[in-house]
Amino acid sequence: MINVSVNRKNNQIKQFELSGHAESGPYGYDLVCAGVSSVSFGAVNAVLTLSEVDLKIEQGDEGGFLRVTVPDNVPNEAMGKVQLLLEGMLVSLQTIEREYNEFINVKQQ
């Protein structure tokens, strides 16, 4: 199962972590894994490209782990972009969870 944990501070996403494997299909054909990876890495790349904010990114060597932290010193204008992109990612992950809840769990703190 993929576990997604979203941590907020002052109602803003400050960090998210993905861990585990969906195992919803054979290696290379796991649609849940592919969807979650596409959504999360797409959001991270969008933040890096469109907001020019240097996120702290930690990844596992063999996949199955991603932790992204938003730095504290982000200017307000850039933070608005970061939050919009991360909230969009969260909506997409929750959409995947609604359809495939035996393979992904999304929680917010």
Catalytic site includes residue 5: no
Do 96 and 89 meet the contact criterion of CB atoms below 8 Å apart?
Answer: no
Sheet with 12-19, edge to edge strand ranges? 56-59, 65-69, 12-19, 2-9, 104-108
Catalytic site includes residue 33: yes
Exactly one of 33, 82, 89, 96 is catalytic; name it.
Answer: 33
Do 93 and 40 meet the contact criterion of CB atoms below 8 Å apart?
Answer: yes
Exactly one of 14, 21, 67, 81 is catalytic; name it.
Answer: 21
End-to-end CA distance of the chain: 19
Catalytic residue ranges = 21, 33
